[in-house]
Chain A
Amino acid sequence: KNEVEQSPQNLTAQEGEFITINCSYSVGISALHWLQQHPGGGIVSLFMLSSGKKKHGRLIATINIQEKHSSLHITASHPRDSAVYICAASPMNYGGSQGNLIFGKGTKLSVKP
C-alpha cells in the first residue's frame, strides 16, 4: 500500500463543474502539498498546508490531520485546469531542514468545454 493515495486516478468534467480530488496518507506529516503538472511536464506548487484550509482563486485545499485526509477543490472548472494534480506529503520523521516529499500517483483531470 502506498503511503499517499489519491482518488480518482482520472477525472473528466464539463466546464463549470465543481471538482474534488482526494488524498489520504498513512504517515505523520509536517505538511501536505498539492502540485499541478501540465502536459508539457512542468510542476507548479499550488498549496502547502499543515492544518485547516487555504484558498487561491478558484482553488481550495483542505486538510483533516486527525483523519489524515486532504482534498483539493476546483470551483467553476475551466479547460485550462486540465492537468495532473499530485498530492505529496512531507513526512514528520524528516524534521527541521531535512525535507523530502512522498508523492501520490496523481489525478489526471480533463475539463471539456
Chain B
Amino acid sequence: DSGVTQTPKHLITATGQRVTLRCSPRSGDLSVYWYQQSLDQGLQFLIHYYNGEERAKGNILERFSAQQFPDLHSELNLSSLELGDSALYFCASSVQGSYNEQFFGPGTRLTVL
C-alpha cells in the first residue's frame, strides 16, 4: 500500500459525459501528479500540482482540467468524454518534486462507451 488513494476504482460512462477522479496523496506529500495509461500511448504525464499550484503540464487535453485543494487532495475533471479517453488514470505523490520518489495510487479505470 503506497498510501496514495484514488476513487473511484472503476468508472463506466457514456460519450459526451463529464467525470471527476479524486486523489489523496500520502500524508506529508505536497506534490500530486496525474498520469494516463492507454493501450496505444502507454503512460503519459498529464499535470503536476505542488502545494495547490500548477507546476507543469504535459499532454493534457483542453477538455481535461485538474486542481489541488488546500487539504492537498486533487481532482482530475474530464469532460466531453470520447471513446479514446478510456484508460487507466493514475495519480502519484511525492514530498516535493523531481528529486523525490513518486508513490502511485491504485488507479481509476475509465471506460467510455
**What residues make up the interface of A, taking CB atoms closer than 8 Å to B?**
30-31, 33, 35, 41-45, 48, 86, 88, 90-91, 94-106
Whether A98 pairs with B98 at a CB distance below 8 angstroms is: yes
> Can you list 22 A-B pairs, Cβ within 8 angstroms, ordered by A?
A30-B98, A30-B99, A31-B99, A33-B101, A41-B106, A41-B107, A42-B104, A44-B104, A45-B103, A48-B100, A88-B43, A94-B98, A97-B96, A98-B50, A98-B97, A98-B98, A99-B31, A99-B33, A99-B94, A99-B98, A103-B43, A106-B43
Distance A16 CA – B58 CA, assembled complex (angstroms): 40
For the complex, is B56 an interface residue (Cβ under 8 Å from A)?
yes
Q: Looking across the interface, which residue of chain B has its beta carbon closest to that of A46?
A: B101
Residue interface bits B36-55, CB-to-A below 8 A is 1, else 0: 00000011110010100001
Q: Which residue of B lies closest to A90 (CB)?
A: B98
- A101 with B45: CB separation less than 8 A: yes
Among A35, A88, A97: residue with most chain B CB under 10 A = A97
Judge whether B109 is part of the interface by a CB distance below 8 angstroms.
yes
B80 contacts the other chain (CB 8 A): no
New A-B pairs, 17, CB < 8 Å, besides A44-B2, A100-B33: A30-B99, A31-B99, A35-B104, A41-B106, A43-B90, A44-B104, A45-B103, A99-B33, A99-B48, A99-B98, A99-B102, A100-B45, A100-B56, A101-B33, A101-B45, A101-B102, A103-B42
Contact across chains for A95 and B42 when beta carbons are under 8 A apart: no
Within 8 A of A (CB), among B1-46: 2, 30-31, 33, 35, 42-45
Residues of A within 8 A of B98 (CB): 30-31, 90-91, 94-100
